[in-house]
C-alpha cells in the first residue's frame, strides 16, 4: 500500500507537541497488477489516466528543441522569465502560464531563429526553387519543416493556414522574407510551444483516449531527453511501432542509452535535491571564509558526479544513493573539505572515514543549501527530509510567529540556541517535526564541511523522527540514512517525485492505482532508478489521456 502522509497543522496540543502528523493522508492507493490479473483490486481495473493538462515547453525543453530542430546554439530561452515552480519542479503544467512578457520574448526568439536560418535559404528550404517553383517549394517546406516543428504530420487546415501566411507575405515581400515569416509563425504556434495531444477514443473505456504514435513519441522524448523526438521515434510512429506498452518500453530502453537521458536525470536531481541553488549561494565571509565563487560549482559537480556514477555506472539503486560511504572529489574540493584526495582537477571516487559520508545526504552542496549564511539550519534540514524524502507537508508558520533564527553565539552550540523551539508552545508543534531531524546533521557546518565540535563542545548529532510511518531515534546522518532506506515512505516518495517530474503535474485521487503500481514495480526491481524511469512509460497516465469533459457521457 502506498501512503503519502501530510504532516498536519502545527498548532500545539495539550502536551505542547504538534497536532496529528501520522494519520493525515492525502492518498491511499491499493496495489494492483493491472486489469487482467487474478485477485487484483477491482477499483484499479478500468483505464484511468488521471488529469491530462496541456504541457508547455519549459526553458530547458525550448532550448533543446530549437537546437535539435534548427541546430541553434544560442539558447534563447535563457532570456525568458524563470518558470514558476510547483511541488519542487519547474515543469508543472499548471504553473507554466504565458505572460505578456513571455509572449513578446517568444516573438523575439522566433524572429531571430528564423532570420538565422534564412541566411542559408537553399539548405534550410531543402528545395530547388529554380526547378520546382516558389509555390511548390513553399508548400513542401511547410509540410516537411512543420512535421518536425509540430512533431506530427500537418493536417490540411494547418497547411492552409500557413500557406495563407506565405501568400500574404509574398504579396508584399520577396520569397526569402515570406519563408522567414512562415517560419516565425510556426515557432510561435501552440503546436510548437505546447505538447498538444488529442488521442483516439477507446471503445471499451468511455472518457479515455489512447495516445497516437506521434503523441507517444513526444511524451517519450520529453520525458527521457527533454527535447523533440529523433528520427527513430518518428519512424516508429509512422510504422505503428508505438502501438503497445511493450513497443514503448523498447524505445525507452534504447533512449536511456543516449547521453541526453543522463542530462534529464541530472536535471531531476538538480531540482529534487535543490542543487541548482548551490551556485547562487552566498555565505558570510567571517563565518565561512573558504566558501567562495570557486567552490560553488565544485560542490554541484561533486553531487552530479556521485549521482551519475551510482545511477549509470554503479548499482543504480536507492540504497546506494543514501548509504554510499564515498563521494567524488577533485584536488581543490578535497582541500576545501580538508580530506586526503586527488590532487588534479578531475573528479575521482574517494572513500571517506566512517560517519563522514552517507550518499548525497552528507555532501557539501546540499548541506550548504540547507543552511543559513552564517550558521547551520536544523529547521531547513529537517524540513527537507520531511518534504523531499518522505513527501510530507510542513505547513508554513503562523503570521504572528517570529521566524528569525537564534543569533550565533560562539559559546553555545546550535542545539542549545534552538532550545526555545521545544519549550515555546507557539513553536514546538511545527519545530518538533523538523528540528529533531535537523540536529542529526550537525556534524556538517553551514558550508558543508564535517566538524567534530562546535563552540568548544563535541557535536551532539542525536536526532529523532516523530509522527508519520517512519519514526525513531538515530545518531548522525549514517544512522538516519539507514532508517530512511528501510522506510516504505521513502520508497513511495521517490516514486511520487519522479511521477511529478516525469509527468509534469501533481498527483490526484485518480492516480492512486498508477502510483501503487509504480511503487510496487520500483520495489520489485531492487529500487533501481533506471527501472523506475522505464516503469513511468508503462502506466495508464503515460499511455492514455482523459477525453475532453463530457465526451463518453451518456445523453
Q: For the chain, what is the domain count?
A: 2
Confirm whether 311 is domain-assigned: yes
Beta-carbon neighbour count of residue 89 at 10 Å?
Answer: 21
Nearest by Cα to 69 from 139, 148, 122: 148
Specify if 14 maps to a domain.
Answer: no
pLDDT number for residue 422:
58
The per-residue pLDDT of the chain, averaged, comes to 90
pLDDT exceeds 70 at position 92: yes
Q: Are residues 81 and 186 in the same domain?
A: yes
Tens of pLDDT, residue by residue over 119-177, are 899 999 999 999 999 999 999 999 999 999 999 999 999 999 999 999 999 999 999 99
Domain, as residue range, for 95: 55-195
What whole-number distance in Å separates Cα of residue 298 and Cα of residue 293?
A: 10
Does 17 have pLDDT greater than 50?
A: no
Is 351 among the domain residues? Answer: yes
Kindly state whether residues 278 and 174 are assigned to the same domain: no
- In a domain? residue 543: no
Round to whole Å and give the CA distance between 462 and 164: 71
Q: H/E element holding 416?
A: helix 414-417
More reliable by pLDDT, 39 or 325: 325
CB atoms within 10 A of CB 19: 16
Q: Return d(Cα 355, Cα 443) in angstroms, integer.
A: 9
Strand-pairing partners, residue 115, are: none
- Separation in Å, CA 345 to CA 331, 334, 337: 6, 10, 15
Do 428 and 336 belong together in one domain? yes
Q: Measured between alpha carbons, how far is residue 548 from residues 294, 426, 507, 512, 553 in Å?
A: 52, 47, 19, 21, 11
pLDDT score, position 437: 97
Q: Indicate the pLDDT class of residue 548, thresholds 50, 70 and 90.
A: confident
Query: pLDDT-based confidence at 9, cuts 50/70/90?
Result: very low
Rounded CA gap, 75 and 67, in Å?
A: 8
What residues contact 346, with CB distance under 8 A and at least 6 apart?
A: 330
pTM for the model stands at: 0.91
Query: For the CA atoms of 517, 519, 525, 530, what is the dihedral angle to 10 degrees?
Result: 100
State the Cα–Cα distance between residues 431 and 383, nearest whole angstrom: 9
* Residue 20 counted as domain residue: no
Q: Cα–Cα distance between 378 and 370 in angstroms, integer?
A: 8
226 Ramachandran zone, left/alpha/beta (phi>0; psi -120 to 50): left
Where does 106-202 show beta strands of DSSP type E? 194-195, 200-201
Q: pLDDT (tens digit, 9 = 90+) per residue, 528-541?
A: 999 999 999 999 99
Are 186 and 275 in the same domain? no
What value does the mean pLDDT take over residues 14-20?
A: 34
CB 466 within 8 A of CB 15: no
327 with 447, same domain: the answer is: yes
Q: pLDDT grade, residue 40 (50/70/90)?
A: very low
Residue 267 confidence (pLDDT) above 90: yes
DSSP string, 93-159: GGG----HHHHHHHHHHHHHHHHHHHTTHHHHHTS-HHHH-HHHHHHHHHHHHHHHHHTSPPPHHHH
Residue 421: pLDDT band (50, 70, 90) is low
Answer with the one of 195, 214, 245 that is the final residue of a domain. Answer: 195
Q: Are residues 144 and 288 in the same domain?
A: no
Both 301 and 385 in one domain: the answer is: yes
- Answer whether 24's CB lies under 8 Å from 5's CB: yes
Mean of the pLDDT values across residues 360-375?
A: 97
Is a pLDDT exceeding 90 seen at residue 42?
Answer: no
| b/e per residue 274-298 (b: at least 16 CB within 10 A) | bbebbeebebeeeebeebeeebbeb
The runs of H, that is alpha helices, within 204-323 are 213-224, 231-238, 245-256, 259-272, 295-308, 318-323
Please tell me whether residues 329 and 427 are part of one structural domain.
yes
Q: What is the tens place of the pLDDT at every residue in 199-258?
A: 999 998 999 999 999 999 999 999 999 999 999 999 999 999 999 999 999 999 999 999
| Residue 428 pLDDT | 63
3-state SS, one letter per residue, for 451-463: CCEECCEECCCEE
The model's confidence at residue 467, banded by pLDDT at 50, 70 and 90, is confident
For residue 24, pLDDT beyond 50: no
Among 426, 457, 485, the domain-final residue is 485
Tell whether the model's pLDDT for residue 398 goes beyond 80: no
Length of the chain: 555
Q: What is the pLDDT of residue 11?
A: 42
More confident residue, 6 or 406: 406
Residue 460 and residue 356 share a domain = yes
pLDDT for 15 equals 33
How far, in Å, CA of 291 to CA of 94, rounded?
37
In the listed set 141, 168, 195, which residue is the last one of a domain according to the structure? 195
Is there a single domain that holds both residue 154 and residue 274?
Answer: no
**Range 481-508 average pLDDT:** 97
Provide the β-strand partners of residue 348.
Answer: 329
Q: Identify the burial level of 37 via C-beta atoms within 10 angstroms of its C-beta, where 0-12 means exposed, 13-18 middle and 19 or more buried.
A: exposed
Q: If 0-12 CB within 10 Å is exposed, 13-18 middle and 19+ buried, where does residue 548 land?
A: exposed
What are the tens digits of pLDDT across the range 47-80? 999 999 999 999 999 999 999 999 999 999 999 9
pLDDT in tens, 334-356: 999 999 999 999 999 999 998 89
Residue 507 maps to a domain:
no
Residues 449 and 344 reside in one and the same domain:
yes
3-class state of residue 128 by DSSP:
coil
The closest alpha carbon to 490, from 270, 327, 272, belongs to: 272
Half-sphere exposure of 38 (CA within 13 A, CB side): 0
In this prediction, residue 426 has a pLDDT band, given cuts at 50, 70 and 90, of: low
With 0-12 / 13-18 / 19 or more C-beta atoms within 10 angstroms meaning exposed / middle / buried, residue 194 is middle
Label the pairing between strands 55-56 and 194-195: antiparallel
Same domain membership, residue 280 and residue 173: no
Domain contains 323: yes
List, in order, residues 6 or more apart from 118 with CB less than 8 Å away: 124, 176, 177, 179, 180, 183
Average pLDDT over residues 295-324: 97
Provide the 10 A C-beta neighbour count for residue 14.
6
Amino acid at each position: 500500500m502506498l501512503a503519502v502522509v501530510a504532516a498536519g497543522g502545527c498548532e500545539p496540543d495539550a502536551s505542547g507537541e504538534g497536532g496529528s502528523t501520522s494519520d493525515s493522508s492525502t492518498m491511499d492507493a491499493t496495489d494492483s497488477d493491472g486489469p487482467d490479473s487474478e485477485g487484483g483490486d477491482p477499483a484499479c481495473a478500468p483505464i484511468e489516466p488521471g488529469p491530462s493538462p496541456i504541457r508547455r515547453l519549459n526553458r530547458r525543453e525550448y532550448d533543446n528543441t530549437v537546437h535539435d530542430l534548427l541546430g541553434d546554439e544560442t539558447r534563447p530561452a535563457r532570456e525568458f522569465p524563470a518558470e514558476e515552480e510547483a511541488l519542487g519542479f519547474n515543469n508543472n503544467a499548471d504553473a507554466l502560464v504565458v505572460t505578456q512578457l513571455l509572449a513578446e520574448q517568444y516573438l523575439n526568439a522566433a524572429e531571430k531563429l528564423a532570420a538565422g536560418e534564412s541566411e542559408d535559404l537553399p539548405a534550410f528550404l531543402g528545395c530547388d526553387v529554380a526547378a520546382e517553383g516558389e509555390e511548390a517549394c513553399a508548400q513542401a517546406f511547410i509540410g516537411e519543416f512543420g512535421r518536425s516543428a509540430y512533431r506530427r504530420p500537418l493536417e490540411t487546415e494547418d497547411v492552409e493556414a500557413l500557406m495563407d501566411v506565405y501568400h500574404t507575405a509574398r504579396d508584399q515581400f520577396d520569397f526569402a522574407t515570406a519563408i522567414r515569416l512562415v517560419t516565425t509563425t510556426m515557432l510561435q504556434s501552440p503546436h510548437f510551444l505546447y505538447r498538444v495531444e488529442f488521442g483516439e477514443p477507446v471503445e471499451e473505456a468511455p472518457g479515455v483516449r489512447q495516445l497516437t504514435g506521434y503523441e507517444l513519441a513526444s511524451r517519450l522524448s520529453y520525458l527521457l531527453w527533454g527535447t523533440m523526438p529523433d528520427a527513430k521515434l518518428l519512424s516508429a510512429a509512422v510504422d505503428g511501432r508505438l502501438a503497445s506498452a511493450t513497443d514503448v518500453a523498447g524505445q525507452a530502453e534504447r533512449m536511456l542509452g543516449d547521453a541526453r537521458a543522463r542530462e534529464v536525470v541530472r536535471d531531476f536531481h538538480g531540482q529534487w535535491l535543490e542543487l541548482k541553488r548551490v551556485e547562487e549561494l552566498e555565505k558570510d565571509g567571517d563565518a565561512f571564509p573558504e566558501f567562495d565563487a570557486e567552490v560553488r560549482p565544485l560542490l554541484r559537480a561533486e553531487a552530479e558526479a556521485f549521482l551519475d556514477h551510482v545511477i549509470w555506472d554503479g548499482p543504480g539503486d536507492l540504497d546506494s544513493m543514501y548509504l554510499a560511504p564515498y563521494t567524488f572529489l577533485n584536488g581543490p574540493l578535497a582541500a576545501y573539505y580538508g580530506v586526503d584526495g586527488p590532487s588534479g582537477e578531475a573528479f575521482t571516487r574517494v572513500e571517506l572515514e566512517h560517519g563522514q559520508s552517507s550518499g548525497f545526504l552528507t555532501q557539501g552542496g546540499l548541506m550548504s543549501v540547507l543552511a543559513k549564511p552564517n550558521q547551520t539550519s536544523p529547521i531547513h534540514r529537517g524540513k527537507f527530509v520531511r518534504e523531499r524524502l518522505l513527501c510530507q507537508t510542513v505547513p508554513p508558520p503562523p503570521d504572528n510567529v517570529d521566524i528569525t533564527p537564534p543569533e550565533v553565539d560562539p559559546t553555545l552550540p546550535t542545539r542549545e540556541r534552538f532550545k526555545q523551539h521545544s519549550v515555546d508552545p507557539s513553536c514546538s508543534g511545527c519545530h518538533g517535526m523538523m528540528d529533531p531531524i535537523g540536529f542529526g546533521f550537525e556534524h556538517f557546518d553551514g558550508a558543508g564541511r564535517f566538524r567534530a565540535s562546535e563552540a568548544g563542545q563535541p557535536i551532539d548529532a542525536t536526532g529523532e523522527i516523530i509522527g508519520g510511518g517512519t519514526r525513531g531515534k538515530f545518531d548522525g546522518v549514517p544512522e538516519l540514512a539507514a532508517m530512511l532506506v528501510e522506510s516504505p515512505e521513502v520508497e513511495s516518495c521517490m516514486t511520487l517525485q519522479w511521477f511529478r517530474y516525469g509527468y509534469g503535474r501533481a498527483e490526484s485521487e485518480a492516480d492512486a492505482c498508477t502510483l501503487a503500481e509504480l511503487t510496487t514495480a520500483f520495489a520489485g526491481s531492487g529500487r533501481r532508478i533506471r527501472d523506475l524511469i522505464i516503469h513511468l512509460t508503462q502506466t495508464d497516465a503515460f499511455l492514455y489521456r482523459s477525453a475532453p469533459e463530457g465526451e463518453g457521457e451518456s445523453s
